[in-house]
Structure 1
Amino acid sequence: MASTTTRQGDGTITVTPSNPSLQSATIIICHGLGDSSEGFSDVAEHLASQMPHVKFILPTAPTQKVTMNMGMAMPSWYDIVGLDKRSNEFCKGIEESQQRIEQLLKDEHDNLGVPYDRMVLAGFSQGGALSLYTGMQLPSKLAGIVIMSGYLPHESGFNIANGLQDTPIWHGHGAADPLVRITAANESQSAVKAKGATNYTLKTYPGLAHSVNPQEIGDVLSFLQQILPPGGDFKVKLKEPSEMSVKELKGAIAKAGLGRLAVGLMEKREFVELLQNHRDGKL
């Protein structure tokens, strides 16, 4: 088992290397308007199968009213008034979502020791817009940003942080997208470059509407493998099995898919030994 998928009560899905000590990078994927983390869970699992050193975090946006959809409440990273350039300046709630994504990155850095340059923000449509808006305004540079069928939101409030100008940005977009039109993608690339970005790649897919296809996912994978190769000069900071409670040990063993090997174990030292052997690659 290369990875383990877990689902939390707040809608967050995490795809983690089955042996968490092998993690050397993190990718956060943000879904599009009206969707949830489930929308890209299969994509995350596919990418994880090709990048077993990466942990994927898929948060779900808060449910709130969206002006463009007649005020209906749905999962949304911020309010959308309209899809034209002028309406795109009104993005109520984007700062809160920006802070939430920043906190996810900070937690990975503070709790596990993952460097910012071993993390990526990715997203589809509104989630891609949020990834771009957040990723280029951080205090530290990421390994890169992936945008699928997205755009630059709230251009008047967007400025690239010092030192982040050469952050690799990869933007895939359907040429037949009727919702976020290809003109919006071109305008976003031009606007971000005008703000100082020097490494923004835009690739279009003929005939593709507001969606992704296998070719685009393959290109995303190639980009991610380029900017997040295996390894890294660090090891994630994990709690030692000997310092865990029995409840923590059982949880870690279950998450690693080792439940069948734990059947019949009674004493804490047995659980410690099983988890430690797993981390040491002896199982």
Structure 2
Amino acid sequence: MSVPSLERITVEPENPATSCVIWLHGLGDSGAGFAPIVPIFSLPENHGIRFIFPHAPEQAVTINQGYVMRSWYDIKSLDLHKRADMGGVLASEEKIQALIQEQIDSGIAAKNIVLAGFSQGGVLSLFTGLRFGQSLAGILALSCYLPTSDSLPANCHHANAATPILQNHGERDDVVPMSAGKMANSLLTAADYDVTWKNYPMDHSVLPDQLRDISAWLQARLLN
């Protein structure tokens, strides 16, 4: 059975696309929430990076009194060890894998694709990227955690054992405590992943300075 294609906002470069950033939004947001960041990256005029901002499916979210909103998975508890509904995580992973495969089928090699995400989207970028069967250009995990809490996901694929991972987190984050991101970082570091950590003086958000740093990281992965 084929996986339903995710609706998305796509920002094409002026030149033919030779690489791609797939950016996953957080709980209750949509692809439109992050699509406006592309000009902030101040990329070279001749860049060939396609940006894709998919929309998560709509579903009821337990911690929000069952309200239906865009969500990559249900959040059943604020306890990190019980927070992520793994059935939902796996269902969204399948959709994101299909989206990556779409780009590969269009002619962009996996090694030229960065998987990025914020909050819930960061959880999925990290989880999916670690388990994906082809080497990616990078994994960007912003203000997030591992859905498997104090262990790495099962079936991490050797294809991305050396893939650069950038983790960012806000020092004042009261939605996803920085300790949750640090736990993921410690697990990745202990397993010898190529992971870089940087925290910023912010809450559960992104900052202009942070986006400039991310731009430099993306350009190093996709334009050099």
TM-score (norm 2): 0.90
- Unpaired runs of at least 5, structure 2: 1-5
Q: Which residue of 1 aligns with 2:67?
A: 72
Shift of 1:53: 1.1
Deviation per residue, 1:213-245 (Å, 9 max, x gap): 001101111110111115xxxxxxxxxxxxxxx
Contact 2:96–2:128 (CA<8 Å) still a contact in 1?
Answer: yes
Deviation per residue, 1:105-128 (Å, 9 max, x gap): 111111x21111100000110001
Q: 1:15 aligns with which of 11, 18, 34?
A: 11
Shift of 1:92: 3.3
Aligned length: 217
Shift of 1:148: 1.3
C-alpha separation between the residues in 1 aligned to 2:88 and 2:38?
26
Q: Which residue of 2 aligns with 1:169?
A: 165
C-alpha separation between the residues in 1 aligned to 2:42 and 2:92?
25
Shift of 1:90: 3.2
C-alpha separation between the residues in 2 aligned to 1:97 and 1:197?
27
C-alpha separation between the residues in 2 aligned to 1:191 and 1:47?
30
Contact 2:40–2:211 (CA<8 Å) still a contact in 1?
Answer: no
Identity %: 38
Q: 1:185 aligns with which of 181, 186, 192?
A: 181
Task: Flag the 1:197–1:134 CA change in 2: closer, same or farther, 3 A.
Answer: farther
C-alpha separation between the residues in 1 aligned to 2:143 and 2:77?
16
C-alpha separation between the residues in 1 aligned to 2:169 and 2:55?
22
The reply to whether residue 204 of structure 1 matches residue 204 of structure 2 is: no
The reply to whether residue 29 of structure 1 matches residue 14 of structure 2 is: no
Q: Which residue of 1 aligns with 2:111?
A: 117
Report the structure number with the largest CA radius of gyration: 1
Q: Which residue of 2 aligns with 1:243?
A: none
> For 2:11, what is the secondary structure of its paired residue?
strand
Shift of 1:166: 1.4
Paired letter, 2:153: F
RMSD between aligned residues: 2.0
C-alpha separation between the residues in 1 aligned to 2:152 and 2:200?
30
TM-score (norm 1): 0.72
The farther-off stretch of 48-57 and 94-103 is: 48-57
Shift of 1:50: 4.2
Paired letter, 1:71: G
C-alpha separation between the residues in 2 aligned to 1:38 and 1:188?
28
> For 2:182, what is the secondary structure of its paired residue?
helix
C-alpha separation between the residues in 2 aligned to 1:90 and 1:130?
12
Shift of 1:175: 0.2
Paired letter, 1:29: W
- Unpaired runs of at least 5, structure 1: 1-9, 231-283
Shift of 1:12: 1.0
